[in-house]
């Protein structure tokens, strides 16, 4: 299965008060199999924007952590007309414009959107496109099966 990674996951790697075991497990898995992960093109911009608002060393963190992630083999998906059309449907279901892009990409790739945004997940739970990481890792996650 392919996973669409929400900015909320990457930010937890670098914001101490947000750190957690699910985010760390995902980070380790990305290092092993980056091609199983995808992000919409807005991902880098969104992460950089948040880092500049809340992190003491935003540029260094982005340069040393996020840029290598984006260059690791993760699929960086462009905004296409198809993604925009799908996103419009998710906006009508109550997602923000940003969140709708993650959901649209998950639908486009037949993937699972991994997020810590419980409210966004709840709004589209019936679509079976997202997983709320606040409750742990997805059942099909490799380390979840071993434990």
CATH of residue 58: 3.40.50.1010
- Does the global pTM surpass 0.85? yes
Enclosing domain of residue 47: 3-146
Give the per-residue pLDDT at 141: 87
pLDDT band at 136 (very low <50, low <70, confident <90, very high): very high
For residues 135 and 26, the answer to whether their CB atoms sit within 8 Å is: no
Which two three-digit tokens encode residue 94? 């109550």
The total number of structural domains in the chain stands at 1
Residue 70 scores a pLDDT above 70: yes
Give the per-residue pLDDT at 5: 98
Residue 35 scores a pLDDT above 90: yes
First to last CA, the chain: 19
Q: Rounded mean pLDDT of 52-81?
A: 96
């Amino acid at each position: 299965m392919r996973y669409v990674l929400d900015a909320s996951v990457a930010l937890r790697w670098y914001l101490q008060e947000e750190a957690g075991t699910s985010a760390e497990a995902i980070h380790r898995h990305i290092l092993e199999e980056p091609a199983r992960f995808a992000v919409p093109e807005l991902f880098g911009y969104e992460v950089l924007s948040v880092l500049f608002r809340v992190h003491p060393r935003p540029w260094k963190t982005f340069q040393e952590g996020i840029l290598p992630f984006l260059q690791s083999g993760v699929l960086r998906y462009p905004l296409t007309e198809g993604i925009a059309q799908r996103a419009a449907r998710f906006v009508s279901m109550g997602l923000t414009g940003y969140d709708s892009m993650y959901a649209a990409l998950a639908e486009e790739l037949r993937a699972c959107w991994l997020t810590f945004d419980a409210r966004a997940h709840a709004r589209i739970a019936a679509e079976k496109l997202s997983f709320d990481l606040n409750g742990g890792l997805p059942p099909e996650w490799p380390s979840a099966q071993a434990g």
